[in-house]
Structure 1
Amino acid sequence: MDQEADGLKALTERAMRIHALYDQLNLAARGRTWNREEFMLGFVGDVGDLAKLVMAEEGARPYPDTSAHDALAHELSDCLWSVLVLARLYGVDLGRAFARTMTELEAAIEADLERATARPGEPE
C-alpha cells in the first residue's frame, strides 16, 4: 500500500470514529441514529455552507467575521469527512475510484484539448 492509500485509510478511519461518536450522541439525545439518506442530506447542507463561504472569500457575499478563510477550511474539512463516511457506508473504495476517475478525466480532457487545438484540415 502506498503513502497516499495509507493516508486515505487513516483519514477514513478517523472519520468513521467521529461518525460513531455522532451515532452515540444521536442515540442518547434522540433515540436513533441517522440513516444514510439523512447523512447525505446533512452533507448537502454542508455543501451549501461551503458555497456561501466561497462566495464570501470571492467578495460576492458579506461575511460577518474576518475569519471567513478559517470557516472555509472548517467547512471543506466537514465536506471531506462526509465524503469519506459516505464512501465507507456505501462500500466504495475511494482510493481506487478516485484513481480510476482521474485517469478517465485525464484521458478525456487530453483528447478534447487535442481536438480543440488541432488546426483545420489536420488529422485528429
Structure 2
Amino acid sequence: MTEEPMAENTGLVDARARARHVRELYETLEGRLLGRTWTTPELAIGFTNDAAYVGRLVLAAESTWDIDGDTDAELRHKLAECLWWAFVLADRLAVDLPEAFESTMDRIGAGLGQAVEGR
C-alpha cells in the first residue's frame, strides 16, 4: 500500500471561513445580550456540551437511548456544530486547523500504512 499525499484541503479552509462568519454573528449577539463575548473556557464548555450530546445521539441511533425528535437530523446537526466549535476554538487558540488536520492525518496515515505493511 502506498501513501498518496493529500492536496491542501480547500474544503476545510472554506469551512473555517464560514465558521468564522457565524462566530462573528454570535459575537454581535453576545455583545448585545451580555455586553461581552464568550471567553475561551465558555467556548470550550459549549463544545464539550455538544460533543457529549453526540454520544447520546449515537446511542439513540443504535436504539439504546430514547430521544424526542429525528435522531438522524439531530446527529447531522450536532456533528456539524462540533466541527464549527473545533474551528472556533482553533481560531481562539491560534491553531491553523486545516493545516493541523492535514499534518496529523499524514502522520497517522504513514504510521498505519507501515503497520499494515508489517514494517
Q: Pairwise mapping of residues 1-124 of structure 1 onto structure 2 (< 5 A)?
A: 4-5=9-10, 7-65=11-69, 67-115=70-118
State the shift of 1:114 in Å: 4.3
Q: Deviations over 1:24-46 (max 9, x none)?
A: 11111111110111101110001
Unpaired runs of at least 5, structure 2:
1-6
What code does the residue aligned with 1:95 have? P
Matched residue pairs, number? 113
Residue identity over aligned pairs, in percent, reads 33
Q: CA RMSD in A?
A: 1.8
Q: Deviations over 1:32-88 (max 9, x none)?
A: 1101111011100010111111110011111222x1100000001100111111122
State the shift of 1:111 in Å: 3.3
- TM-score, normalisation: structure 1: 0.81
Unpaired runs of at least 5, structure 1:
116-123
What is aligned with 1:118? none
What code does the residue aligned with 2:60 have? A
